[in-house]
Structure formats: structure tokens, C-alpha cells
A and B are shown apart, each in its own frame.
Chain A
């Protein structure tokens, strides 16, 4: 059992979960993830590690509410236990002094990219952060990201911050104005895809953190297989980071939707059993 220390809504539909996991906190590196189960009947789901504290022995993730498992997580509070919390899994993000690195993120990726931006900054890079939001009220952790970025651009569809452009335009603008050596992108599949397509003609290396369906998270099942450079790769042990220019995005899009109808069935069942009864 793993104890939850904090669970709070950061912005609508995006929550933070901090747990007591001293061993994982000692090993965690940017870009890695944990597998967890919200309860005994739950699915095993991967969440990117968004922060950790070796001294306190805590690990934090940021997640978006999409299905039954994440819905269940939002009902948990400090002091509750979850039966499965295992990690850190996956290969860590490549951290070196590349020069100038753009960190482009949206939704849960804003939290997930934070430790990467921090490590890249510590490694001596110039870090430019680009955040993409549907609306102004979906921004969180901007102060934390500002602290590790040399420059930060926030685009929301309502134009409340810097602009209202979609990420290809914002990223394209940044690439025009700066000599960029690498782009790191985390967020929904479409965001990572469009970032990769923006940098492809310019030949700028673009690292994406893939988010396919997983079951065990340790290489055993192959649910998370993706085609990268024309070959089968397991996101859990070969990734989750891959070169965005080599990923078969169309395949990832449809594989992520494998259980679309089941997810709706599951959530409706859970709501009927748990929310309507009380």
C-alpha cells in the first residue's frame, strides 16, 4: 500500500497527486513514470513523474481526468492508500548541454515537463518554455516553470496571455527567432505530433514522451508497442521518450483509442455504482 499525502485539483480536470514513496523518490529521474492502481479493481495506469523530494521521500504526478481510473484518483484524499504504486519506470530523458532547448507542453504535460526543463536548465541549457492551453484558466505551475526557463510563452485560445495561436505557430515563431538545438514535447498525442511536424522540415531533433495504453509497464505485455523507425518499440522499456520524427503517429492515434467504447461503459458503470447510490 502507498499512502497519498496530497491530492488536489490544479485546474479544471487536471489534478496533482503526491504520495509517500521514499525508494522511488531516491531513484526518480526526469522523464520516468510510475504505474499505479487506484483501487483493487482498477486498471494499472502510467503517470509521468512530475516532481519528487528525496529528503521527504515523496513523489508527485499531474494527471488529467479521462476515464474510470483517473476519476477514481480524484476521489482520494490525503491519508488514503492505493494498492499499487511502482517505479520509477522507463528510460530517463536525455539530459545534456545541448545549447538552446524548447520545452513545449500542454495539459498534464505542463507538470510532466517541469523536471525535464529543470534538469536541462541545471545542465547549462538555455530553456525556452512554450505552453499551450485551451483557455486561460487551465494554466498551472507557471511560476515553477518560469523559475527554470529563460523565456516562457503561453498561448491560450482566448488570447489571455501572450497569444491565441496553436502550438505550431507559437513554436514556429520561437524557432524563427532563436537558434534552437532541440525540442522536447509532452502533452496530448496531437500536441506532440504537431510539434514534431513543425520541426521536421527544419531538422531540429524533437523528443516526445509517448503515452500509449500500458498494462504491466515493465516490458512483459507489449500493449504499449509503437512503431518507431519502422520497428516495434515498447514505450515502457524502450521509451517513453522517442524521436518524434521517427514515430508512426497515425498508428499511435488509433491504438490510443483502442478501448474508447469500453472506457465509456466503464465510467458509466462506475458512476452508477458509486455516485448515484449515495
Chain B
């Protein structure tokens, strides 16, 4: 599945050029010479103390203060040829919003962000900026340390919300066209926001009882507070988006039923909701969870507050999380917060191959998480009550690169050893959820069950049906899902504009 990122649309490019030429931007550039700007040190994100925060669920990052944000914004050189925009899957006009922060116009900065990104306070927290916009920053090329764009994105959008300056843009008169969005995750929320702003009547159908998808059941409070997400969902409601919760399209109603109700265009953003397991003996012992189940119990169902909330979760003393991605980091840090004395990542490759964000790995290490690299479980061993008590592991070494370009882990013969554990979380990825493809047989899917799309338009093989995010990609990031969603929303708008009622 390609991670296709499209060229900057010509109109956006034009707007960026115009922005660069604005008088106030020129003045800012003149005010501080490039050499001076390059001397300003990177502003460190303030965090809660590791030994305090690994016992509760409050947000780890506290956000830059205004002085820090100003200093960080000044580090941006406002280049004539900014590379950062090309690194962003949704093509945020990054220099524009950063320079608005430098000018002290925080609320305007947030509004600039919202022109291209419906959910900036979320992206400012969970996007892997270090491999996207920040990776290609010209300042990084020059000095080795780029502008902390993500922290600035978070700062501006938090200011707008905290100052209660969130404003509802003027929405054109209703087009009277009904659009159904399947799934209230990052892709669905983005499509809903974009199309509502064009005056369409958007309904989001969500299977769970809370909107947000992976943002609510997966990403923990300590990385993305629920209140932030709720504010974003509220914003969409104010844009006129209707949410139908507890509604599984394909089961509660078919796509044809929705067509009969007058829905004319559809976006499928139902995510990669089918967890993969290791397929080794003993994996169904008690105390072994998929990351989805573990995180859903804790985040969505609030098992951390059991028995005040009814849903329980095992509180392991010795927790092993299998995998090396962000979901694995979220799980292992959650286990620590729920009282595990030993909470470890067990990953079959080495540190450099880990897909998790550097920041998450760093925070995890600070919090006392152990890392066991080049290790893979071969079987799980249960006690007399069939609760997992240990896993047999094998040491690995790195061989030749595989299809992902990473060096393939190869087992070292005779290296078996026993690791004592009473909680295991399997965080080795997900497959696309089968409910939608099963319920719409004419929808074309690939061999992994992912919906096939034309990457230029995100259109499926069915007229008026578009898809994006993990149901297409199989398991990617929030921002790539949102990038797909923006393309789909533009195309859906075009489709409805040319289609007769």
C-alpha cells in the first residue's frame, strides 16, 4: 500500500507565494537576520516529571508557553522555498501559521491551520512530525535541528480553544445534498468537516458510543486528552455535522438503505479494526490481550477506574508488550501507569527498526519502561488457572533486508529463554475490519481485505463511494488518514457538483 502524497494543488501554491510576499511577513524577516535566527536554541517541550506521571493518566507534554512559542517561531527562516509544506500530508501552509505566532497573532494562526487541517490540536499532539514536515525543514538541513512545527501547531490551536476564540466559519447556503460518512475516526471526522464547510448535509455513522475512532479507544489520555477530542467533535457539530452513534453501516442499515434515504455520496473510513495475533501456542491464555482490547478497556471503557466503572482489566505486575510501534508504546506505558513493576517492550527487531515515534520511545524510557530487542515469543505458558505466567522467547539477529527495507530478524538457534510475565499485550498491527467489505460485495478489495482506491481521487470502484485511512492503507497514521480524507472530500464535492440531483 503506497503512502502516496500528492503535489501541492496549484491554488494552494499560489496562496503560499502570495503569503510569502505579504508586507508583514517581509518586515518580520527583516527584523531578525537569518544568522540570528539560526542561533536561537530549540525550545524544549515542558513535560511532567517521569516518576510522577507514570502513576497517572494526565497529559505528559504540558505545551509551550507563549515566550517559548515566540522563540521557536523565530527559529523559522520563512524560506522562499519551504520544504516543510511538502512533508505534510495535508499540506498545511506551515510558514504562514508559524509567522503568525511570531507576530503574536495566535488565534489567527490557529485559523490559518484550520484552512487545511480540521483537527490541528490533535495533529499537534499525535503526528509524527519528525519524519514529515520537521524532517525536511531547511533549518534542519543547515543546523541539524529543525523547527518544532508540531509543538507550534499544538500551541496555536490550544490558544484558540483556551481563549474560547473557536469560531464557526461562514457556511454557504445548504446544497441539500446528503453525505454519509462511515466511521468517526480521524479520516471520517476530516471528511465530515470539509464537506460541511461546503454546505453539504453530512451524517457520520459510528459503531461505538463515542466519536473519535482510534483517537478515543486507542490513544491514551496521557498523549491525547479526551477533552481535546471532544472539543473538536463539538466544533464539527457546530458546523452542522450530524452524528449517529451505535450504528454499524452494513448491519444496522445497508449502503442501499442509505441511498434510499437520499444519501448521494459515501466515505468509508472504518479503519483497521481487526487485530493481528502472533499465532504461537498459548496465545489465548487469560491475561493476553490484543492492544485494541487492552487500550479500549482502559481508554474507552475506563477500566482504570474499576469498580466505579464496570469494565475490568488485568493489572499485571509483570507486563510484556509485543511490538515496536506507537500502539505498543501506548500499551506499555498504560501498563506501567496501572501499577506494573516490570513493563517491557519485546520487539523482534532492533531499536533502529522500531516504527514508534522517537518522542514516545524517549518518554517511555524516562518512565522506566524496559526494552528487549531482538526477542520474540515462541509460546506462552499458563498457571493452573490458565492465566499466563511466562513466555518462552527466542533471541534474534538481523539478516538481509526484507520487502520493507528493514533487516529481517533471524532466530538464533538454541537461544530460548523464559521471561516471567502475568500480562501480555499483542501490538503487532491490525487488518482492515471485514464488516463493510462483507456487507457490500460489489466493493473491490485487495488480498488483505483493504478497500482498493484510485489514489488520485480516493474513489472506490463504486460510483459515489470513496474510502481512506486504515481501511485502505491497512495500518498507518492519523495524519495519513486525514490526508486521504482531504483528497476524498474535495473529490466528493466535485462529484456532487457535477452530479444531477
Contacts and interface: CB of A to CB of B under 8 A. Distances in A.
A232 B284 contact: yes
Majority secondary structure of chain A interface residues (helix, strand, loop or mixed): mixed
A265 B253 CA distance: 38
A3 interface: no
Interface string A143-169: 000000000000000000000000000
A222 B275 contact: yes
B90 to A, nearest CB: 26
Nearest to B207: A218
B252 interface: yes
A215 B208 CA distance: 10
B217 to A, nearest CB: 8
B311 interface: yes
A222 B248 contact: no
B293 A215 contact: yes
Contacts of A87: 248, 251-252
Interface string B268-285: 000001110101000110
Contact of B312 (A23, A234, A262): A262
Interface stretch (A38-46, A132-140, A189-197): A38-46
B307 A221 contact: no
Contacts of B434: 219, 237
Nearest to B302: A41
A265 B292 contact: no
B222 interface: no
B306 A218 contact: no
Contacts of B310: 41-43, 68-69, 266, 270
Nearest to A35: B246
A221 B293 contact: yes
A88 B217 CA distance: 22
B287 to A, nearest CB: 8
A189 to B, nearest CB: 15
B433 interface: yes
A225 interface: yes
A86 B292 contact: no
A84 B252 contact: no
A216 B308 CA distance: 20
Interface in A61-98: 68-69, 83-89
Nearest to B253: A23
Interface in B281-327: 283-284, 286, 289-290, 292-293, 296-297, 301-302, 306-312
B308 A41 contact: yes
B296 A265 contact: no
B373 interface: no
Given A43-B301, A222-B277, A255-B284, A262 B306 contact: yes
Interface string A251-278: 1001100110011011001100000000
Contact of B292 (A27, A85, A220, A255): A220
Q: Give the one of A37, A85, A223, A251 with max B CB within 10 A.
A: A223
B386 interface: yes
A27 B252 contact: yes
12 contacts: A85-B246, A86-B246, A89-B251, A215-B297, A218-B435, A222-B277, A222-B289, A222-B292, A223-B293, A225-B284, A259-B312, A266-B312
Interface of A: 2, 23-24, 27, 37, 41-44, 68-69, 83-89, 215-216, 218-223, 225-227, 232, 234, 237, 251, 254-255, 258-259, 262-263, 265-266, 269-270
3 A-B pairs with the lowest CB-CB distances in the bound complex, closest first: A262-B312, A220-B273, A221-B293
